[in-house]
Amino acid sequence: MQKDGIDAFAVNEVVSILSQIENVTLEREAPIAGLTRFRAGGHADVLVHPHTVESAIELIRVVQKSQLPLTIIGCASNVLVSDRGIRGVTCRLHPVLSAIRREGNRLFCQAGVSLHDVAAFAAKHSLGGVEFAAGIPGSIGGAVFMNAGAFGGSMSDVVQKTTFIDGDGCIRDVVGNDHDFGYRHSFFVSSEGAVILETELCLEHTDLSLIYEKMAENAYKRYRTQPLDAYSAGSAFRRPEGYFAGKLISDAGMKGYRRGNAGVSGKHAGFIVNYGGATAEEIAAVFRDVRAAVYEMEGVILMPEVRLIGEWDGDPFAFEC
């Protein structure tokens, strides 16, 4: 039997191998919406949580050999999952792969550790440099992938080395400039099949009171300006050169716009939100409406920052211009 081109027999075979790997929890037909910050999307054919780096490596190699699609998520705070769900195997690294180790001013963080925990751990050891990350609801793996940043800081400032498994199952390191960091870009965005396992951060010994002051200031700025209690994926769009997405969206009259159960936040126009019960398609429709309105009013094509996961028919963010 086939489901969107995926052979149920192949899935069964892979599941039987994966279920023999130690330190892996596995679920079939797993609902994904509740695991995402958008609270939308369908089921994953197979959802796995590896509890150790070794089990992650083993399971990733099994899936690679099987030719089934492999999808990686961390905290799923920057993704929109299709209502039709995710075919093949979805590997969720948060909250399971979340150990942090310190050597002097360097932190070794497994990919699933939350940025909040990294920032708290760093602060506890009077290490500065990741205060900007404390309020970003992602994992370190997702943050390196996206080169997440805020308030003038970004992962590129602190990441020294990243260990990953490549599309052929080989364990490799990327060091320094080879991360190819740019605005919401890293080497990993263009390295198909690469899965980040661990990242080394180089931080600076800093007075604890300065660290907490910065973190509190950042948290207050977020609280004042962002709809933190809403289901969203943060900034919906990349910053267009020479503009701010939020201002363009406001100027186009779309701040507070609502379509069904989804819409544009009335607090921050850069955030597209699920007001509760929205489907992924409804959310995608808001992306299209916003892009069309901004293009019509300002002539600027906004590019989504949110990444699409799962089975979609074409580009759900595409609008007619």
Ligand X SMILES: Cc1cc2nc3c(=O)[nH]c(=O)nc-3n(C[C@H](O)[C@H](O)[C@H](O)COP(=O)(O)OP(=O)(O)OC[C@H]3O[C@@H](n4cnc5c(N)ncnc54)[C@H](O)[C@@H]3O)c2cc1C
217 is catalytic: no
The residue type of 206 is T
Per CB under 6 A, does 195 bind ligand X?
yes
200 is catalytic: no
Nearer Cβ to ligand X, position 205 or 221?
221
Across 226-299, where does the E strand assignment appear?
Answer: 231-235, 258-259, 262-264, 271-274
Residue of 58, 184, 186, 282 marked catalytic: 184
Per CB under 6 A, does 32 bind ligand X?
no
| Cβ atoms within 10 Å of 8's Cβ, excluding its own | 11
Do the strands 271-274 and 231-235 form a parallel or antiparallel pair, or are they unpaired?
Answer: antiparallel
Map the footprint of ligand X across residues 48-107, applying CB under 6 A. Answer: 72-79, 93-94
Distance of CA 204 to the CA centre of its chain: 26
Of the candidates 138, 148, 126, the one whose C-alpha atom is nearest the C-alpha of residue 203 is 126
193 and 167 Cβ atoms separated by less than 8 Å? yes
The least CB distance from residue 221 to ligand X, in Å, is 10
159 and 137 Cβ atoms separated by less than 8 Å? no
Do the strands 231-235 and 204-205 form a parallel or antiparallel pair, or are they unpaired?
Answer: unpaired
- H/E element, 235: strand 231-235
Contact string 298-317 vs ligand X (x = CB under 6 A): ---------x----------
39 is catalytic: no
Contact string 198-227 vs ligand X (x = CB under 6 A): ----------------------------x-
Per CB under 6 A, does 139 bind ligand X?
yes
Name the segment binding ligand X (CB under 6 A); options: 1-9, 62-70, 135-143, 272-280. Answer: 135-143
Contact string 244-283 vs ligand X (x = CB under 6 A): ----------------------------------------
Residues across the chain = 321
Per CB under 6 A, does 119 bind ligand X?
no
- Alpha-carbon distance 139 to 278, whole Å? 25
Task: Provide the binding-site residues for ligand X, judged by CB under 6 A.
Answer: 37, 72-79, 93-94, 111, 136-139, 141-143, 145-146, 148-150, 188, 195-196, 226, 228, 232-234, 307
